[in-house]
Amino acid sequence: MVTRAVPSTRAWEVAASVPDPELPVVTIEDLGILRDVIEDDQCRVHVQITPTYSGCPATETIREDLVTRLSEAGYRQVCVELVLAPAWTTDWITPRGLERLAAHGIAPPGRVAGVVDLVLGVRCPRCGSTRTREVSRFGSTACKALRVCRECREPFDHLKPL
């Protein structure tokens, strides 16, 4: 018997609730990592994700978390596919994701409307000042830079625009 794949709201909701292992204040949906979720009438589900970058060490954990969550929700077979093209961009972070990052002290990236390497100012998530400086190109993870505010003097992570 051939089954026709159909989009599933329930499977999407389960997958979308998986937190990012490196930034647990946001889900993989908030970050724009979750691309597609399709289930068939045999309780099989196919999930497509795009990692934030091709060498992201969290990718395997995200895959395992998706398989676990969907299996616990009753799906008999879960396939997680990595989709590398088009490459993930910080433009895919949802408005809710940007809000959650800022609320938890992580400066969200600005929108990437083309290739621009110049960063004029990164707003401090604590006091709002743009008088900040980069301390280290790499923060607690490779996708974040460590910055410090010149006004409130607090350090903070800045999610690098990609």
Delimit the domains of the chain by residue range. 6-82, 92-159
pLDDT band at 96 (very low <50, low <70, confident <90, very high): very high
For residue 18, what is the enclosing H or E element? none
| pLDDT higher than 60, residue 150 | yes
Q: What predicted TM-score, i.e. pTM, was given to this entire model? A: 0.72
| Sheet architecture: strand order including 44-49 | 6-7, 34-39, 44-49, 77-82
Model pLDDT for residues 112-148, shown as the tens digit of each residue: 555 555 556 788 988 989 899 999 988 777 788 889 9
Model pLDDT for residues 11-26, shown as the tens digit of each residue: 999 999 999 998 899 9
Region 6-82: CATH code: 3.30.300.130
CB neighbourhood size of 95 (10 A): 8
Q: Give the pLDDT of residue 159.
A: 84
Question: Residues 34, 16: contact at Cβ < 8 Å?
Answer: yes
Instruction: Report the C-alpha gap between 146 and 81 in whole angstroms.
Output: 32
For residue 23, what is the enclosing H or E element? none
